[in-house]
Amino acid sequence: MASGIASFTFAFFSSHAKFHRATFRSSAYFNGATFYEGATFSQADFEAGVNFSDTTFNQPADFNHAKFSGEVDFTEAVFKHSVTFYGATFKDRVRFSGSKARPIFANTLVLDLQFARIEKPEHFSLRGLAAYASWFVNVDARKFELVDVEWKSRNINDEIFILTTNGVSSPLRMLAIASRHLAVNAEENHRYEEASTFRYMSMDSRRLERWRGFGFWRFYTKVGFTRWEPRIVSESDVATARRDEVGAPLSLTRALTYSAAVMTFQRPEPRPATTAAQTIVLLETILGPVQAALLALAIRRKFMR
């Protein structure tokens, strides 16, 4: 606990700096400091302002569940690794400001703001830096001050990789919501081309969520296709024999080739033995080509950028 002003200006932390659950009663200054092996400020309580301007974080920086009651300044700080503010509380102005000469998120893949409580979102400022849309999942960025932000990737697979690496559940759904919030932010600030890009990313994420991991062939392994025929060895067996009306599902490998044949409008054998199987074949005959066309369109749009 620091009751007076805490000054670590131009300090050099050669080993992992641990300020876990530390309480700073007055202003704290880390401007110009270098954290060589990483920094942990999880659950730290900054009761006044804190200055991290020109600070360098060479390894992961952990501010999870930290509480910032005063202004927070990360002007031209450099994060060379991941930085996490999961569940953090920001009660006043927050400033992330970089420049081409000193990019604030130099090689950062993960900026985690999930479930952060930002009481003055219109004063949460990101200026002159590069960012990913996936950094804004599970936080409402509609009122953030986003000025001269270069969006690093408009490739959904890259964004999903980042979210998966960060352990985000339902990454496609979360990316769709975050992109929609960023689109609203861009529209309200008259950045219409950027808004259009985020709208498309949101819709594409929802489309992929709807279809990813879905394949008609999965159903073919659960519904009846092949029938067994009764064995008739005598004339009396004809009267008692009953034909199979349920059928057996296809094997995994057979289901894959069967699905491909249906999608290309062939008539593979065996024929569907049940109403459920017939329905699935009919749906794939209609929806399969549509799904393929949407995929081709997405690939075309990607290479047109």
User: What does the pLDDT look like over 182-216, one tens digit per residue?
Assistant: 999 999 999 999 999 999 889 888 877 765 555 55
Domain-ending residue, one of 186, 211, 236: 211
In this structure, are 241 and 205 located in the same domain? no
Query: Are the C-beta atoms of residues 10 and 32 closer than 8 Å to each other?
Result: yes
* Whether residue 155 is found in the same domain as residue 29: yes
CA distances from 29 to 7, 18, 51 (A): 5, 16, 5
Q: Kindly tell me if the per-residue pLDDT of 10 is higher than 50.
A: yes
* Residues forming a β-bridge with 62: 40, 84
For residues 52-76, average pLDDT: 97
Residue 2 DSSP label: B
CB 149 within 8 A of CB 172: no
* Domain final residue, candidates 211, 234, 267: 211
pLDDT at 238 over 50: no
- Do 243 and 156 belong together in one domain? no
Give the pLDDT confidence score for residue 246 in this predicted structure: 59
Q: Is residue 161 part of a domain?
A: yes
Of 146, 180, 211, which residue is a domain's last?
A: 211
Average pLDDT over residues 125-149: 95
The answer to whether residue 162 is domain-embedded is yes
Query: Is residue 55, in this structure, part of any structural domain at all?
Result: yes
Whether 62 shows a pLDDT value over 60: the answer reads yes
Identify whether residues 14 and 140 lie together within a single domain: yes
Check whether residue 13 and residue 127 sit in a common domain: yes
Report pTM. Answer: 0.69
Specify if 1 maps to a domain. no
Residue 118 and residue 124 in contact, taking contact as beta carbons nearer than 8 Å? yes
pLDDT score of 301 more than 70: no
Is the residue at 80 inside a domain?
yes
Share of the chain above pLDDT 90, in %: 52
Helix ranges (H only) for the chain are 156-165, 171-188, 192-211, 216-220, 235-240, 252-263, 275-304
- What's the domain range around 18? 6-211
303 or 63, greater pLDDT: 63
Whether residues 230 and 97 share a domain: the answer is no
CA nearest to 276, candidates 198, 220, 200, 197:
220
